Amino acid sequence: MRPMEFAEVIRRRRMVRRFKNQSLPSDVVDRVLANATRGPSAGFAQGWAFLVLTEQADRERFWPFVPNQTKHTPEVMNAPLVIVPLAHRTAYFDTYDNSLRMADWPAPYWFIDTGMAALMMLLTAVDEGLDAFFFWLMPPADEIKQDGRVAAHLDEFRSEFAIPDDYTPVGAIAMGYRTDDLAPQSPELSSRRRDNATVMHHGQWNGSGAE
């Protein structure tokens, strides 16, 4: 398959929740994972890691940790590849020799950079003729608002997969081939996309900028 033009990759990217039960070529998986590490990171800290689940038995251990997704879109469980991007805050403090306090960071770049790595994988999937779905790791919907339940859920996830405590999952990516009967994306979504005039502020927030 010939690589797509970059503009086509951007245009075609969407969240697909319904997958065929069809395996992926190992070289495709390798390219998806390799491109994750090409994302930018503050101070080149590279404060990320990735739990990669290609074996069915390992994915079966994973699905109970995303009950809201499996309940509403069970065909997500057909995805032959699941990747959990993990943010590692300690890497950033080590990179900057602990000279910065938590309050000094204008944004938690361990999450930002890991999210960028996730986007690199989502775009690579499209370029490889695949589809992907980025979603969160959460307890059942009726438990989410219970005090401490989300944190406990993530601790249970770390324990199941022997992930160190200082690595935090930012979500998960299911990847594979979409089902043949997947409906086209609803035009209603396009109508809800905010236009540039709404979100772009040239020069200053509310007007003309420098004169």
Q: Identify the pLDDT of residue 120.
A: 95
Burial code of 157-190, b = ≥16 C-beta within 10 A, e = fewer? bbeeeebeeebbbbbbbbbbbbbeeeeeeeeeee
Domains, the chain, in order of start with CATH, read 6-181 (3.40.109.10)
Give, for 35, the enclosing helix (H) or strand (E): helix 26-36
CB 138 within 8 A of CB 63: no
Sign of the dihedral through C-alpha 63, 66, 68, 69: negative
- Tell me, what DSSP letter sits at residue 105? -
Residue 146 CA to residue 138 CA, distance in Å, equals 12
Q: For every one of its 211 residues, what pLDDT tens digit does the chain have, with 9 covering 90 and above? A: 556 787 777 777 777 889 999 999 999 999 999 999 999 998 898 999 999 999 999 999 999 999 999 999 999 999 999 999 999 999 988 888 777 777 787 889 999 999 999 999 999 999 999 999 999 999 999 999 999 999 999 999 999 999 999 999 999 999 999 987 777 666 676 677 788 888 888 888 876 656 5
Q: Identify the pLDDT of residue 190.
A: 67
Nearest to 91 by CA among 104, 108, 107, 110: 110
pTM of the model: 0.88
Residue 88 CA to residue 90 CA, distance in Å, equals 6
- Tell me, what DSSP letter sits at residue 174? E
